[in-house]
Every structure is written in structure tokens, then in C-alpha cells.
Amino acid sequence: MAHASTPAALDAAQPAHDDAKARRNVAVLVAAQALLGAQMPIHFILGGLAGQLLATNKALATLPIAATVAMAMVAAPLVSMLMGRVGRRPGFLLGALCGALGGAVSAAALLVGSFPMLVAGAALTGVYMGAQGFYRFAAADAASPAFRPRAISWVMAGGLLAALIGPELVKLTRDALAPTPFAGAYLSMVALNLLGACAFIFLDAPRPPKPAADAPQARPLSVIVRQPRVAVAMICAMVTYALMNLVMTSTPLAVVACGFDPDDAASVVKWHVLAMFAPSFFTGDLIARFGAPRIIALGLAMLAACGGVALTGVDLTQFYGALILLGLGWNFGFIGATAMLAAAHRPEERSRVQGLNDFLVFGMVTVASLSSGALMNDLGWEAVNLAMIPFLALAGAALLWLAIARPPAEA
């Protein structure tokens, strides 16, 4: 008999799967990821530059981005609990509303020259970021075990369109409210949220049913997180997302500091975000064929290669090469970790486990964002990339522990 915590036993405990429904929801979530998700490249391109423009202490230039991920950390478990009670749609609509407010407040901050207001607007954007993180889990809700990795991967692929839309909107609108730079681009985030929210009308994600009286009770979180697959999935998700944010947050500052134009910084970030999401068309197939741990290991290797390329110099070609590797590494590492986690808990445990996971992920990303600005300002671009080493070692050791702790069929 399968142990209660094995993937086979957990899949057996799932309600009846409906891949047709899952495919319809994936289409909706891809559209939402493309439109609503386009605000995140805008914010990550401009957050540090706008912060540098308004902050008196330039070491705090990336504080708006740190505020975004800190609020995402706080919002993620709360949004997850809300969706566990009333369904996915209200949580996603709340995120879009806060994203629109965040863009409006950030634009106003630039118009009046207020750094605290810019940080407040960035924090509202963080509520959207916390809600967006659950698009990938919503794709897996109704999916069969065979379709689940593909559903997650396809929704993440919606970010490919976001990668095209966001940076181009920066170029088109950053001077729309001249002489105030960047304010027009933040206002474009308002339009993206209002338009993208309409997609959720078509999302088939009803209120979760109350568990039957004879249904198995959810395990305590303290028990769940001690399962090797859950622990390693969370560690690898934290490391891959945090390191991506650490390097990406400093990149626009480094590009401009090396004498290049903000449009060059936008192009570098655009190719980075393309690399983050373009592999998603086949990442799910790779996970289904080779297993999540091997794909996560490939992602970690690419993150290490990113640091190696970045340390070779500061020409535009090196910025492009490093950031493309950074995006690819994030894709394989984060989607692999998501697929591993989605298969490692029961439906009645979903809101608590996923909420805890994203709380930890965004907590680590918050530390990375705060560290990124300080490292870049005080020690430079080289220090930002060297800081990746201990965290890559941690995630690699976790994968090795999983291989030792679990039989090959479960690893």
C-alpha cells in the first residue's frame, strides 16, 4: 500500500479530474498572465530607476521593489485563505484592483516628487504580485496528474506575451507625462489591470466544497513541511525566485551606471523576461519525462552560469547573456519546484500549503530585493553576482538530500 504522503497516494486522494475544464481555465489564465502580468516588467524596469530619482539616499533606490515583494509575502497567505473560502476569482480580482491602485499611486508619486508615496504604490502592486502567484496553482486544480505539469507550464508561458508588452509600454509611455519621467508608464499599469481583470469572468473556479464528514482531515503544516518533496520544493522555489530577483533588480541600475541608456536597460530586461517564460511551452513536457528534480537541477546550473557570464565584464552583450541565462534558470527551477509541490499535498491542504510556500518565497525575494540595492550601491555589480553562490549551494544540497531520502520512483 502506498504511504499516505507519497505522490501516488496523494493523487489517489484527489477528486475526479476534468482536463477539459482545466484546459479552459488554462486559456483564461494565460490571457490574465499576458495582460496583467505585463505590469511586472514595467515595475521591475522602473522601480529602481524611479527610486533613484526620488530617494535622497541612493542605497534605497530599490526599496520600491523590495516593498512590492514584501507586500506579496504578506498578501500571499491571506489571498490563499480567501480563495480557500470563496474561490479563486475573488482573490484574483482583488489582486487586479490593488495593481491598478498601485500604478495610479506610483504615477502620482512621481508627479509630486514623493519617495514615500512611490513606496506605497509599489506595496499595492505587491498585493497583485501575491495574487498572481496563484495563477500557476489554479491551473493545476482540476488537472490530472499527467496534465498538471503542462497546465502549470502553459500558464507560465503567458508571461511571454507579458515580456513583450511590458517593456514596449515603458518605451512608449515613459515620457508621456513629460517633463516627469516614468509617470506615464505607471499609468499604463492601471489600464492593464482594468483590461486584464475582465478575463476572470470566464474562469470556472467555483467556491471550494465543504469536506464530507468522512473525508480525511488535513495534516498539520508541521507534518506536511517535513515531507522531503515538500521541503525541497519550497527551498528550491525560494532560491530560484530570490536569486532571479536579486540580479534582475540591480540590472537596470548597472546598465545605466555603465553608460548605457534606460532603453538599453529595458531591452535587457525584456530579453530576460522572454527567457523566463519562452521555455514554458515545453518545460511541462520535460518535467513529465525527466522528473521535477532533474529540471530543477538544470535551472540551478543555468543560474550559476548567469553569475559566471556577469562576472566576465559589463558590455551589453554580457548583460544580455547573463540575464537570458537568469531567465532560463528561473523557468526550469521555479516551474519544476511548483510542479513538485502541487503533487505533494492533498486538496484540503491546498490553501495552507500554497499560502505558506508563497509566503516563504516572497519573504526570500524581499531579502534579495533589499540586499540588491545595497550590494549594488556599496560594492557593485560583481558583488551582486557573487552573492548567488551560497544559495545555489543550499538548493543543490537540498536536491541531493531528496535523492538520498526518497526512492528513485518518488524522487
Q: What is the pLDDT of residues 255-280, one digit of tens each?
A: 888 888 877 887 888 888 789 888 88
Look at residues 165, 374, 397, 155 and name the one whose alpha carbon lies nearest to residue 280: 155
pLDDT of residue 213: 57
The per-residue b/e assignment along 302-339, b for 16 or more CB within 10 angstroms, e otherwise, is bbbbbbebbeeebeeeebbbbbbbbbbbbbbbbbbbbb
Q: From CA 177, how far away is CA 190, in angstroms rounded?
A: 15
What is the spatial distance between Cα 265 and Cα 281, in angstroms, rounded to a whole number? 26
The one-letter amino acid at 236: C
Distance CA 285, CA 363 (A): 30
What pLDDT is stored for residue 63 in this prediction? Answer: 86
* Rounded Cα distance, 377 and 358, in Å: 28
pLDDT at 409 over 50: no
Q: Which of 50-54, 101-105, 375-379 has the lowest mean pLDDT?
A: 375-379
Is residue 353's pLDDT more than 80?
yes
* 214 pLDDT tier (thresholds 50, 70, 90): low
- pLDDT bracket for residue 9 (50, 70, 90): very low
Residue 86 is predicted with a pLDDT of 85
C-alpha–C-alpha distance, residues 35 and 43, integer Å: 14
Q: What is the pLDDT of residue 12?
A: 44
Confidence of residue 102 (pLDDT cuts 50, 70, 90): very high
Exposure b/e, 62-95, CB count within 10 A at least 16 = b:
bbbbbbbbbbbbbbbbbbbebbbeebbbbbbebb
Where is average pLDDT lowest: 6-20, 57-71, 230-244?
6-20
Measure the CA–CA gap between 334 and 152, rounded to whole angstroms: 11
pLDDT at 11: 47
2-11 in b/e form (b: 16+ CB < 10 A) is: eeebbbeebb
Weakest-pLDDT range from 19-23, 116-120, 122-126, 322-326? 19-23
Exposure class string for 354-381: b at 16+ Cβ within 10 A, else e: bbbbbbbbbbbbbbbbbbbbbbbbeeeb
pLDDT over 70 at 6, yes or no: no
> What does the block give as the cell for 227?
515531507
408 CB-contact burial (10 Å; exposed 0-12 / middle 13-18 / buried 19+): exposed
- Report how far residue 56's alpha carbon sits from residue 314's, in angstroms, rounded to the nearest whole number: 27
Cα gap 73→358, rounded to integer Å: 7
More confident residue, 367 or 212: 367
Helix, strand, coil percentages, rounded to 5, for the chain: 80, 0, 20
Mean pLDDT of 244-251: 87
Confidence band for 321, pLDDT divided at 50, 70 and 90: very high
User: Could you give the CA distance from residue 185 to residue 293 in angstroms, rounded to a whole number?
Assistant: 39
Measured from the Cβ of residue 45, the count of other Cβ atoms closer than 10 Å reads 29
* pLDDT over 70, % of the chain: 91
Residue range 17-207+221-405 forms a domain whose CATH class is mainly alpha
| CA-based nearest residue to 120, from 70, 169, 167, 170 | 70
Is residue 410's pLDDT more than 70? no
What amino acid occupies position 101? L
User: Which pLDDT score, from 0 to 100, does residue 215 have?
Assistant: 57
pLDDT above 90: residue 245: no
Contact 399, 296 (CB under 8 A): yes
Band of residue 70 on the pLDDT scale cut at 50, 70, 90:
confident
Please compute the mean of the pLDDT values over residues 55-62 and round it to a whole number. 80
Question: In the prediction, which pLDDT does 17 show?
Answer: 65
What's the average model confidence in pLDDT over 100-115? 95
Domain ranges of the chain: 17-207+221-405
Give the pLDDT confidence score for residue 129 in this predicted structure: 92
User: What pLDDT does 208 receive?
Assistant: 66
Which pTM does this prediction carry? 0.73
Digit-coded pLDDT (tens) for 357-392? 888 888 888 788 778 877 877 788 889 889 899 999
Task: Please tell me the predicted confidence (pLDDT) of residue 343.
Answer: 77
